[in-house]
């Protein structure tokens, strides 16, 4: 999505530059008027580029924050699942220890 926006912005800017250059060069005006027009259109294009890049930067920031939140949620899920598995392992070990204690008792009684 962000790559598409970047390509769209770049395409729009190139189109604007080509259109402005063609319009100015083909228009029958004095040189001073042409220069003034070029300056104005150059400033407009600069302002548009700045605005578009700010928008793209904001979109990237939002995407990064969204990814960060998703990562936090996934980490919580993993931590929860790990906790359950740890509990199961502890229970298994406790059962095995109980079996070993019983075997040990039988060995102690026969001695």
DSSP string, the chain: -HHHHHHHHHHHHHHHHHHHHHHHHHS---HHHHHHHHHHHHHHHHHHHHHHHHHHHHHHHHHHHHHHHHHHHHHHHHHHHHHHHHHHHHHHHHHHHHHHHHHHHHHHHH-
- Which residues span the domain enclosing 7? 2-110
The mean pLDDT of 19-29, rounded to a whole number, is 67
- pLDDT at residue 103 is higher than 60: yes
Tell me how far CA of residue 44 lies from CA of 16, 17, 32, 35, 91, in angstroms.
Answer: 10, 11, 18, 14, 70
| Tens-digit pLDDT profile for residues 68-99 | 888 888 888 888 888 888 888 898 998 898 88
Structural domain count of the chain: 1
């Amino acid at each position: 999505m962000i790559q598409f926006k970047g390509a769209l912005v770049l395409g729009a800017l190139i189109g604007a530059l080509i259109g402005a250059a063609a319009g100015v060069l083909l228009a029958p005006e004095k040189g001073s008027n042409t220069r003034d027009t070029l300056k104005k259109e150059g400033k407009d294009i600069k302002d548009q580029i700045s605005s578009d890049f700010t928008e793209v930067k904001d979109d990237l920031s939002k995407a990064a924050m969204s990814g960060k939140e998703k990562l936090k949620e996934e980490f919580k899920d993993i931590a929860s699942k790990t906790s359950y598995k740890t509990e199961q392992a502890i229970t298994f070990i406790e059962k095995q220890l109980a079996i070993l204690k019983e075997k040990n008792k039988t060995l102690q009684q026969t001695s």
